[in-house]
Every structure is written in C-alpha cells, then in structure tokens.
Amino acid sequence: MELTARAGRITALEVPLRKDWKIGTEFLGIASSLGKKKKKKKKKKKKKKKKKKKKKKKKKKKKKKKK
C-alpha cells in the first residue's frame, strides 16, 4: 500500500522515514488526517415562515340615484 504526498504534504508512511525533519504536532496531525476523509457537517437551514398578507376588502361605491 503506497500513499502519495498530496499538495506538498507528507503522508503518514513517509513520516518515520524523515526523522531528520522537525515534526511538530501540526505536521503529525496533517499526516494522520490525510488518510481519513473528513465528513462535513451539513448545516440545517432554518425555514422562514411566510407572512400571510391580509387581503384588503374593496369598498363598494354606492351609486347615487339621479332624481
């Protein structure tokens, strides 16, 4: 099983081979996380409640009777 370096990062298998490098905790974290794909948490979208528009009642115009 061979892992390849991705975008200049070093894989977990390559870490023990390069002991002359100063390996920080960040570095080891990157190497160990390469094999595992991080699952992105889906954010739940809040549903916006639609405001019901009140219908305006039209006033009926009274017709004036001509005498």
CA distance 20 to 5: 18
**Does some domain include residue 28?**
yes
Smallest CA-to-CA distance from 13 within 22, 24, 4, 23 is with 4
**Does some domain include residue 64?**
no
Count of structural domains within the chain: 1
Domain that holds residue 2: 1-36
DSSP 8-state secondary structure symbol assigned to residue 36:
S
pTM across the whole model: 0.13
**Does some domain include residue 13?**
yes
**Does some domain include residue 30?**
yes
Q: What tens digit of pLDDT does each residue of 5-57 get?
A: 455 555 555 555 555 455 554 555 555 555 555 566 667 777 777 777 777 77
- Rg (the chain; Cα; Å): 34
Q: What tens digit of pLDDT does each residue of 11-24 get?
A: 555 555 555 455 55
**Does some domain include residue 29?**
yes
Q: Which residues contact 27 (CB under 8 A, 6 or more apart)?
A: 10, 15
**Does some domain include residue 1?**
yes
CA distance 17 to 22: 12
